Amino acid sequence: MKDPKKRCRHFNGLRNDNCEAGIKYNFSNFMRLTCWGEDEGSCEMYSPFSAEELAQQEVEFERHMDLLRQGLSGCCEAPIDTSQVIAAGRHKNHGPRFCSKCKKVMFIV
């Protein structure tokens, strides 16, 4: 498992060809992605998050999780819309959960 404390602030997921700084991802050696601090010198744009930024991200994550446990969305703190969740059968309780205010997808089961 990659250490999230070493992740570069420009990393925007493996579904993209380039990071947010415009550097093309090199997938030839997937386990040594410089975005995770392995070869820090090989990417001139490598910039890890500070300890303060990581602490703030953790606080925000915990806030979102607390809201979800209460049945509220993390974006608008509005009730979660479960109208498209399967009510019965083999896939009962599967389906998307949306923010009832802005309609953003909260999660899908």
53-67 tens-digit pLDDT: 999 999 999 999 999
User: Residue 76: is its pLDDT beyond 80?
Assistant: yes
Nearest to 109 by CA among 100, 99, 98, 96: 96
> What is this structure's pTM?
0.68
pLDDT, position 53: 94
CB 74 within 8 A of CB 64: yes
At 94, give phi and psi (nearest 5°).
Answer: -95, 150
Quote the CA–CA distance of 100 and 86 in Å, as a whole number.
Answer: 17
Q: And the tokens for 20?
A: 């947010």
For 35-64, give the DSSP string.
GGTTTGGG-TT--BPPHHHHHHHHHHHHHH
Could you tell me the residue ranges of all domains in the chain? 51-108
CA distance 26 to 102: 36
Give the number of other CB atoms < 10 A from CB of residue 6: 14
